[in-house]
Amino acid sequence: MKRPLMRAASRTGLVNEYYFSAKLAEIAQMRQEGADIINLGIGSPDMAPAPEVIGELARNASLSTNHGYQSYRGIPSLRKAFSNWYGRHFGVAPDPDSEILPLMGSKEGIMHISMAFVDPGDEVLVPDPGYPAYAAAASLAGGVTRSYDLTEENGWMPDLRAIEASGTERVKMMWINYPHMPTGTRASRELFEELVRFAQRHRILLCNDNPYSFILNTEHLSILSVPGAAETALELNSLSKSHNMAGWRIGMLAGNSTYINNVLKVKSNMDSGMFQPLQAAAVAALALPDRWYEGINMVYSRRRILAAGIMNALSCTFDETQSGLFLWGKIPGTFRDAEELTEELLHNNHLFITPGSVFGRNGRRYVRISLCASEELLSLALTRVSKRIISKQLQTL
């Protein structure tokens, strides 16, 4: 008689498998069965990093002295490079010795911050729609997730009066993410100033996740540039989107040294430092001139035109001022919800785009198209959508 398997910890019941993990497995199975699926659902840059970045990685990897354990705080030159990058583009330069912590991707930082600051029962404000990892990390840390609404009618901005009216006594942390994913909305300095005042009033730790700053956006804004933010705010950033280095897993956390040290207590018990050649390559990436960002944005601009064509062909409406790696659009009333549309496209037209419901209930009538695909693939996707429309029109005759 077989023994029953060991029961998993109860915390695993608080989260589900990440949507894209399960969906990519489904797509892989369809491809194995012969379907030619175009994937416009994932925000994984398909272009390479700059040649000098790859060269720096190779050069450092060839040195026998660079393969040992590294400092939990990252090499000094990387912290200095992050500080200089922020000073050059965001107008604020955190102290590289005490206010910057390199990370193995900013997603790691979301979990580390949650573990460092959230006690059981603490409330964590997360945006709806928003990145699902914020809520998952809060739950795994024992916190109570509390969504705050972002709506098209409110410009995808938080209604701080509504949050205050519903009570903030138990709120410990608030996640914000501007430029926003999935809607592509940019923040204003006025919004950041208002958020800092709100956090100060209610003694809330404000966490801004800022990886989309450079994609189809020239208004680089950091929450840390707001007076008073050092007392109540942290900011995550990443080389994943801005430098085509998603798989390299290089990010950073910046903020007050006391907050950084608290996060380091968690991080230092979970890894043994980042591979030194990766850090050296990141230093090279952070020193790239403005023409690097201009070049990748020229590519994304051309892709955006094709993505807009797909949205128009699907009769979706969208804001043309969006920034970031995606195009976010509202579905027509002929569909019950976004998932009905995306499942039809996947199974009938072999085209995968993301239903907005993945990001919260306020995304149920929206879809997201990734720009991380070649113009050739986007053009083919547009052709498939156009054929779908023609086929439907013929069926009604």
CA 201 to chain centre: 28
- 159: pLDDT confidence band, cut at 50, 70 and 90? very high
Average pLDDT (35-64) is 96
- Give the whole-angstrom CA distance, residue 145 versus residue 130: 13
Whether residue 395 is predicted with pLDDT greater than 60 in this model: the reply is: no
Report DSSP letters for 44-96, one per residue: ---SPPPHHHHHHHHHHHT-GGGSS---TT--HHHHHHHHHHHHHHHS----T
pLDDT (0 to 100) of residue 129? 98
Whether residue 194 is predicted with pLDDT greater than 70 in this model: the reply is: yes
89, 213 Cβ separation under 8 angstroms: yes
361, 128 Cβ separation under 8 angstroms: yes
- Give the whole-angstrom CA distance, residue 251 versus residue 272: 16
Whether residue 292 is predicted with pLDDT greater than 90 in this model: the reply is: yes
56, 394 Cβ separation under 8 angstroms: no
Average pLDDT (99-107) is 95
- 396: pLDDT confidence band, cut at 50, 70 and 90? low
pLDDT (0 to 100) of residue 15? 76
pLDDT (0 to 100) of residue 307? 98
pLDDT (0 to 100) of residue 10? 84
How many CA atoms lie less than 13 Å away from 251 in the CB half-sphere? 24
Residues β-bridged to residue 367: 329, 355
Q: Where are the domains of the chain?
A: 11-48+291-392, 66-288
In this structure, is the dihedral angle defined by the CA atoms of residues 259, 261, 263 and 265, taken in order, positive or negative?
Answer: negative
pLDDT in tens, 107-142: 999 999 999 999 999 999 999 999 999 999 999 999
In this structure, are strands 144-149 and 171-176 parallel, antiparallel, or unpaired? unpaired
- 163: pLDDT confidence band, cut at 50, 70 and 90? very high
Widest CA span of the chain, in angstroms? Answer: 72
Kindly state the tokens that stand for 146: 């509390």
Neighbours of 75 (CB within 10 A): 18
Whether residue 393 is predicted with pLDDT greater than 70 in this model: the reply is: no
Higher model confidence: residue 174 or residue 16? 174
Average pLDDT (228-254) is 97
Extended beta strands in the chain, E state: 38-39, 100-103, 123-128, 144-149, 171-176, 205-209, 233-238, 251-255, 326-330, 351-352, 354-355, 366-370
pLDDT (0 to 100) of residue 394? 44
> Identical fold at 11-48+291-392 and 66-288?
no
Q: What's the pTM?
A: 0.93
Q: Which DSSP letter does residue 166 get?
A: T
pLDDT (0 to 100) of residue 126? 98
Kindly state the tokens that stand for 286: 């952070």
pLDDT (0 to 100) of residue 19? 79
Whether residue 18 is predicted with pLDDT greater than 80 in this model: the reply is: no
SS (H, E, C) 204-259: CEEEEECCCCCCCCCCCCCHHHCCCHHHHEEEEEECCCCCCCHHHCCEEEEECHHH
Neighbours of 370 (CB within 10 A): 22
239, 215 Cβ separation under 8 angstroms: no
pLDDT in tens, 312-345: 999 999 999 999 999 999 999 999 999 999 999 9
53, 242 Cβ separation under 8 angstroms: no
CATH code of 66-288, in short, is 3.40.640.10
Whether residue 347 is predicted with pLDDT greater than 50 in this model: the reply is: yes
- 392: pLDDT confidence band, cut at 50, 70 and 90? low
Average pLDDT (138-162) is 97
Assigned superfamily of 11-48+291-392: Aspartate Aminotransferase, domain 1 (3.90.1150.10)
Contacts of 171 (CB under 8 A, 6+ apart): 122, 123, 124, 125, 146, 202, 204
CA angle 369/374/376 to nearest 5° reads 105
Average pLDDT (205-233) is 96
Query: Mean of the per-residue pLDDT values for the chain?
Result: 94
Whether residue 397 is predicted with pLDDT greater than 50 in this model: the reply is: no
pLDDT (0 to 100) of residue 51? 98
pLDDT (0 to 100) of residue 20? 79
pLDDT (0 to 100) of residue 291? 97
167, 161 Cβ separation under 8 angstroms: no
Whether residue 391 is predicted with pLDDT greater than 70 in this model: the reply is: no
Whether residue 160 is predicted with pLDDT greater than 50 in this model: the reply is: yes
74, 274 Cβ separation under 8 angstroms: yes
H helices present in 118-154, as ranges? 132-140
